[in-house]
Chains A and B, each alone.
Chain A
Amino acid sequence: MALPTESDAPCVIGNQILIRGTLVGEEDLIVEGRVEGAITLAGHLTVAANGVIEANLDVDSVEVRGEVVGDISAARSITIQEGARVRGNVRAPRVIINDGARFRGSVEMKVDLPDDLAKVLSRG
C-alpha cells in the first residue's frame, strides 16, 4: 500500500471525504472535501476551491477559496478569496474580502468607535 507514513504530513480532508460532527485540533488543516458540524482549530484553516464547510468555525486564521455556510470566529485573520462563497457572520481582528468573493453576513472587526457612537451603542 502506497500510503505515506511520515508524521509531518499536512492534515488534509480530501475531496471525496465527508465529515459530519466536530473536528478539534491544534495544527493547520486543509479542507478539500466537506465538513458539517463544527471546527475548532488552533491553527490555520484553508478551505480549498472545491471544499464545502457547513459549520461554525473557531480558528486561529482562515483562508476561504471554496464555500462556507456558518459563523466564523478567528483569533487573527479571515481571508475570503476571489471565487469563494461565504454565508454567515465573521468576527476577527483582520477581515479581508477580495474582489470576486461572494459574502453575505455581518463583519465584526476590532474597531475603535467614535466616542459618541460608542456611548449610544453601549446604552442600546
Chain B
Amino acid sequence: MANTVIGSTIVVDGEISGDEDLVILGTVKGQISLRENILVERDGVVEANVETATITVHGSVTGDIHASDRAELRADCRVVGDIHAPRILIADGASFKGNVDMDS
C-alpha cells in the first residue's frame, strides 16, 4: 500500500524527496528523489528529473530517469528523456524518445 498519492487535480512545483512509495495521478514539476517505488498513472504528468529505486510509467514523463533497480515503460506511456537503470522494460505501445543506459 502506497502512502503518498498526488491526486489528479494536484500540481506540485518543486522537489519531492523521501523514503516511501509514491503514486502520481496529477502533475509534478521539478525534481523527485525517492528510494522506493514510483507509479505514474495514466493521467499523471511528470516534468522532472527522477531518482528512484523503481518507476512504472503509464502516463507521461519528461526528464531523465535514474532508477537503481528497474524502469518500466508501459503501453500508452509517453517518455522523453534519458533512462539509466540496470533493468529497463519498454512495452509494446509505449512512446519513448531518449537514450537508454543499462550499465550501472
Question: Interface of A with B (CB < 8 Å)?
Answer: 1-5, 7, 9-27, 29, 32-33, 37
Q: How distant is B52 from chain A, measured CB to nearest CB, in Å?
A: 12
Residues of B within 8 A of A37 (CB): 14
Complex formed: what's the CA distance from A1 to B10 in Å? 24
Residues of B within 8 A of A13 (CB): 4
Count of CB-CB pairs between chains A and B under 8 Å: 102
Indicate the size class of the contact surface on chain B: 20 to 34
Q: Given A1-B37, A16-B19, A16-B20: A11 and B6 within 8 A (CB)?
A: yes
Taking a contact as CB atoms closer than 8 A, the residue among A4, A22, A24 that contacts B23 in the complex is A4
Whether A17 contacts B4 by the Cβ 8 Å rule is yes
Looking at A7, A13, A17, the one whose CB has the most chain B CB atoms below 10 A away is A17
Question: Interface of B with A (CB < 8 Å)?
Answer: 1-23, 25-26, 30, 37, 39, 41, 43, 54, 56
Whether B4 contacts A22 by the Cβ 8 Å rule is no
Q: Given A1-B39, A16-B3: A21 and B13 within 8 A (CB)?
A: yes
Complex formed: what's the CA distance from A14 to B16 in Å? 11
Taking a contact as CB atoms closer than 8 A, the residue among B1, B17, B41 that contacts A7 in the complex is B41
Taking a contact as CB atoms closer than 8 A, the residue among A9, A12, A25 that contacts B11 in the complex is A25
Nearest 3 A-B pairs (CB), nearest first?
A: A21-B14, A14-B3, A11-B7
Residues of B within 8 A of A14 (CB): 2-4, 18, 20-21
Residues of B within 8 A of A23 (CB): 10-14
Residues of B within 8 A of A33 (CB): 4, 18
Q: Given A17-B4, A33-B4, A33-B18: A25 and B39 within 8 A (CB)?
A: no
Q: Which A-chain residue is minimally distant from B10 (CB atoms)?
A: A25
Residues of B within 8 A of A7 (CB): 8, 25, 41, 43
Q: Given A1-B54, A4-B1: A19 and B16 within 8 A (CB)?
A: yes
Residues of A within 8 A of B13 (CB): 21-24
Whether A12 contacts B4 by the Cβ 8 Å rule is yes
Q: Given A9-B5, A33-B18: A3 and B11 within 8 A (CB)?
A: no
Q: How distant is A9 from chain B, measured CB to nearest CB, in Å?
A: 5
